[in-house]
């Protein structure tokens, strides 16, 4: 058993449901107790979905515990088949079905005999995989299912499209800024003269999956979801893929160069010429994206050497860390991710870009790390935003898990050239927020503040006298916490319990020495 207050990645079934409900005309039937369809609320509220979420539950209740749920599951699948005529029904196991150990595959086999829809059982185990891993698997499972189906029928058309085209794999519902990223990617590809063969799962039809191999190559923008599918397609159909995330100026260029290489594998034959995107990259970098200019401007100069910490999913945390370090000259003290299963990749990606790497699913560890590092800004998830609030450190949200405010109505991609502009704003605003606070403090704007500092550690054996408290208040907000802690550390070392102004300065000198 684990004492847990908060989790970064959700349970496996959420991942399956996110993938299933992103496809068009696919229905998921959860094998779950009453109350586990909370996914529908999230989708309806966060994505502000206009349509009913295509997820229903086949209830597990006392009756099921006594007699098993075969009949009920089969009936529920058949009922959905009649009512909504989906192309595919995905039976989704939950933590409850994991321990009931019923033969769900058998129910699926029975149900598919009597229904027009295809029926599959999502192959995910609650106790082995989390939300993101489950999403990755489910997507691969669905793609594999449909490709095997046409291969069996020998109706597969494997001809490449005439002009270069790509599939975008891994855009799906409740993903962090996924819709905007998708639009930006499409725009980028259009600029390069590359057609979109398919986007899956978001908005795709399972009937079209058989045409996936027609694309020249695949694009997997996020590490978390889509890689399994891309690897499967590579193995079975020899389709290459690009897995560089086009986030930030440098990586977007790298992404385009890789795309160029893949296009040129066929271009001489099919187009009769090679493509060269270098001038496009140059033009976009210098004029469309403002990020390159920003990093040259004195605004960004002021950020040089400022300390930041980054935490999030593997894709976003890695990309943002590199942007901060190599494109803006910011000092990343610590970068971390909760994607434990991808730790190796993460480590490798960030060699040389930060002082320290933290891989954990425990938000208190992240909180302690932040309190210890005392950065000028945090880039993290909603959890880090709240940690930042308590420590009076500004935070830019760069990764799921997120709240409704991270589903903006306006256009806010993180990928591509427009994405670089958005990120520059986010970074700059987070830091200046802290700066403004500092200036206000310098000019005594906050002198009515009672609280000296919010701190995660409570320390009751030390007292600050009135004078030293007042002195502490004069110190700018963003370094106040550090000075307080250093002074207390010093006091403790010297066995002083009553902190006076003298002690404060003695501490400062001791540290400088």
Partner 1 sequence: MSIKTIETPIFECETGNYHTFCPISCVAWLYQKIEDSFFLVIGTKTCGYFLQNALGVMIFAEPRYAMAELEEGDISAKLNDYGELRRLCLQIRKDRNPSVIVWIGTCTTEIIKMDLEGIAPKLETEIGIPIVVARANGLDYAFTQGEDTVLAALTHRCPEHRISSDKQCQIDQKIFPDLLTKQIKKNYWEDKSDNHPPLVLFGSLPSTVASQLNLELKRQSIRVSGWLPAQRYTELPSLGKGIYVCGVNPFLSRTATTLMRRRGCKLIGAPFPIGPDGTRAWIEKICSAFSIQPKGLEERENQVWNNLRDYLDLLRGKSVFFMGDNLLEISLSRFLIRCGMIVYEIGIPYMDERYQASELALLQSTCNKMHIPMPRIVEKPDNYNQIQRMRELEPDLAITGMAHANPLEARGINTKWSVEFTFAQIHGFTNVKDLLELITRPLRRNDSLRDLGWTNLSV
Taking the complex as a whole, the smallest distance from the CB of residue 111 to partner 1 amounts, in Å, to: 16
- Contact positions with ligand SF4 (CB under 6 A) in 59-118: 95-96
Q: If we measure between CA atoms, which residue out of 20, 422, 405 comes closest to residue 181?
A: 422
Q: Among candidates 237, 229, 254, which has minimal Cα distance to 150?
A: 237
**Nearest residue (CB) to partner 1, 134 versus 475:** 134
Binds ligand SF4 by CB under 6 A, chosen from 35, 152, 272, 410 = 35
Closer CB to ligand SF4, 35 or 152, in the complex: 35
Contacts of 337 (CB under 8 A, 6+ apart): 311, 312, 313, 314, 317, 318, 343, 346, 358, 359
Task: Check the annotation: does 368 bind a ligand.
Answer: no
Chosen from partner 1, ligand SF4, none, partner binding at 162 (C-beta under 5 to 8 Å by type): none
Picked from ligand SF4, partner 1, none, the partner binding residue 1 (CB below 5 to 8 A depending on kind) is partner 1
Do residues 17 and 39 make contact, with C-beta atoms less than 8 angstroms apart?
Answer: yes
Assess contact for 56 and 78: CB atoms under 8 A: no
What's the rounded Cα separation, in Å, for the pair 266 and 445?
A: 64
Residue 219 interacts with, from ligand SF4, partner 1, none (CB under 5-8 Å by kind): none
DSSP calls for 433-489: HHHHHHHHHHTTTTTT-------SS---S-EE-HHHHHHHHHS-HHHHHHHHHHHHH
CA distances from 67 to 64, 72, 106, 432 (A): 5, 10, 16, 63
Q: Which does 272 bind (CB under 5 to 8 A by kind): partner 1, ligand SF4, none?
A: none
Beta carbon of residue 27, minimum distance to ligand SF4 (angstroms, whole number): 20
Contact stretch for ligand SF4 (CB under 6 A) within 33-41, 391-399, 415-423, 465-473: 33-41
Both structure tokens of 250? 């440098």
User: Quick one: which of 7, 24, 33, 271 contacts ligand SF4 (CB under 6 A)?
Assistant: 33
Kindly indicate which of the ranges 30-38, 179-187, 273-281, 410-418 contains the residues binding ligand SF4, using the contact rule CB under 6 A.
30-38
Burial class of 307 by CB neighbour count within 10 A (0 to 12, 13 to 18, 19+): middle
Nearer to partner 1, 194 or 225 (CB): 225
Does 434 count as an annotated binding residue? yes
Q: Which of 61, 299, 355, 459 is catalytic?
A: 299
Number of residues that bind ligand SF4 (CB under 6 A): 5
CA distance 341 to 338: 9
- Name which of 37 and 234 has its Cβ closer to partner 1: 37
CA 326/CA 295 separation, integer angstroms: 10
Choosing among ligand SF4, partner 1, none, which partner's interface includes residue 4 (Cβ < 5 to 8 Å by kind)?
Answer: partner 1
**Cα torsion through 412, 413, 418, 420, rounded to 10:** 110
Nearer to ligand SF4, 32 or 88 (CB): 32
Q: Provide, rounded to whole angstroms, the least separation between the CB of residue 35 and ligand SF4.
A: 4
Q: Between β-strands 331-337 and 241-242, what pairing exists: parallel, antiparallel or unpaired? A: unpaired
Site of tokens 């408290």: 469
Nearer to ligand SF4, 10 or 226 (CB): 10
Residues 6+ apart with CB under 8 A from 271: 163, 164
What region, left, alpha or beta, does residue 495 occupy, with left being phi > 0 and alpha being psi -120 to 50 degrees?
A: left
Q: Which two tokens stand for residue 88?
A: 């595919």
Residue 161 interacts with ligand SF4 (CB under 6 A)?
no
Smallest CA-to-CA distance from 500 within 471, 473, 452, 468 is with: 468
Instruction: Give the residue with the Cβ less far from ligand SF4, 10 or 213.
Output: 10
Beta strands 88-93 and 118-121, pairing class: parallel
Residue 141 beta carbon to ligand SF4: minimum distance, rounded to whole angstroms: 24
User: Choosing among partner 1, ligand SF4, none, which partner's interface includes residue 450 (Cβ < 5 to 8 Å by kind)?
Assistant: none
Q: Shortest approach of ligand SF4 to residue 98 CB, angstroms?
A: 11
Measured CA to CA, the distance from residue 78 to residue 455 in angstroms comes to 57
Q: Is 299 a catalytic residue?
A: yes
Smallest distance, partner 1 to C-beta of residue 33, A: 3
Query: Is residue 435 a known part of a binding site?
Result: yes
**Residue-by-residue DSSP string for 21-45:** HHSBTEEEEEEE-TT-THHHHHHHH
Positions touching partner 1 (CB under 8 A) are 1-7, 10-11, 13-14, 32-38, 40-42, 44-45, 48-53, 56-57, 59-62, 65, 76, 83, 94-96, 98-100, 126-128, 130, 383, 386, 389, 403
Q: How many CA atoms lie within 13 A of 133 on its CB side?
A: 16
Q: Which does 461 bind (CB under 5 to 8 A by kind): ligand SF4, partner 1, none?
A: none
* Interaction partner, residue 466 (partner 1, ligand SF4, none; CB < 5-8 Å by kind): none
**Candidate list 11, 36, 137, 394; residue touching ligand SF4; CB under 6 A:** 36
Active site (catalytic) residues: 299
Q: Which residues bind ligand SF4 (CB under 6 A)?
A: 33, 35-36, 95-96
Q: Which residues are annotated as a binding site for [4Fe-4S] cluster?
A: 36
Q: Which residues are annotated as a binding site?
A: 36, 434-435
């Amino acid at each position: 058993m684990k004492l847990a207050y908060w989790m970064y990645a959700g349970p496996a079934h959420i991942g399956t449901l996110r993938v299933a409900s992103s496809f068009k005309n696919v229905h998921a039937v959860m094998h779950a107790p009453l109350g586990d369809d909370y996914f529908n609320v999230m989708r309806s509220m966060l994505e502000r979905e206009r349509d009913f979420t295509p997820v229903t539950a086949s209830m597990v209740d006392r009756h099921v515990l006594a007699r098993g749920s075969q009949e009920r599951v089969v009936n529920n699948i058949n009922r959905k088949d009649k009512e909504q005529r989906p192309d595919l029904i995905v039976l989704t196991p939950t933590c409850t079905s994991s321990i009931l150990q019923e033969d769900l595959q058998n129910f699926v086999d029975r149900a598919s005999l009597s229904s027009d829809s295809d029926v599959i059982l999502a192959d995910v185990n609650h106790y082995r995989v989390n939300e993101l891993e489950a999403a990755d698997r489910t997507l691969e499972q669905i793609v594999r299912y449909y490709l095997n189906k046409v291969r069996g029928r020998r109706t597969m058309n494997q001809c490449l499209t005439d002009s270069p085209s790509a599939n975008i794999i891994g855009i799906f519902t409740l993903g962090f800024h996924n819709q905007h990223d998708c639009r930006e990617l499409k725009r980028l590809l259009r600029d390069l003269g590359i057609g979109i063969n398919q986007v899956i799962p978001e908005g795709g039809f399972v009937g079209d999956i058989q045409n996936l191999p027609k694309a020249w190559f695949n694009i997997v923008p996020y590490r978390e979801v889509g890689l399994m599918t891309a690897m499967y397609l590579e193995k079975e159909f020899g389709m290459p893929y690009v897995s560089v995330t086009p986030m930030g100026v440098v990586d977007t260029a790298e992404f385009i160069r890789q795309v160029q290489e893949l296009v040129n594998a066929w271009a001489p034959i099919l187009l009769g010429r090679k493509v060269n995107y270098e001038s496009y990259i140059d033009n976009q970098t210098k004029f469309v994206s403002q990020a390159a200019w920003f990093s040259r401007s004195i605004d960004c100069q002021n950020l040089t050497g400022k300390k930041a910490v980054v935490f999030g999913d593997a894709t976003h945390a890695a990309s943002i860390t590199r942007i901060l370090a190599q494109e803006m000259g910011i000092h990343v003290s610590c970068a971390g991710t909760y994607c434990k299963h991808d730790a190796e990749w993460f480590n490798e990606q960030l060699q040389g870009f930060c002082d320290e790497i933290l891989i954990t699913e425990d938000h208190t560890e992240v909180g302690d790390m932040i309190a210890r590092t005392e950065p000028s800004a945090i880039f993290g998830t909603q959890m880090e935003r709240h940690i930042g609030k308590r420590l009076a450190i500004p935070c830019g949200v760069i990764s799921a898990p997120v709240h409704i405010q991270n589903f903006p109505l306006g256009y806010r991609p993180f990928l591509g050239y427009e994405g670089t502009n958005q990120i520059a704003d986010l970074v700059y605003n987070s830091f200046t927020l802290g700066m403004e606070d500092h200036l206000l403090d310098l000019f005594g704007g906050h002198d009515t503040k009672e609280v000296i500092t919010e701190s995660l550690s409570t320390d009751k054996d030390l007292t600050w006298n009135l004078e030293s408290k007042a002195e502490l208040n004069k110190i700018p907000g963003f370094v106040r916490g550090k000075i307080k802690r250093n002074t207390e550390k010093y006091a403790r070392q010297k066995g002083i319990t009553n902190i006076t102004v003298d002690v404060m300065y003695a501490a400062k000198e001791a540290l400088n020495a």
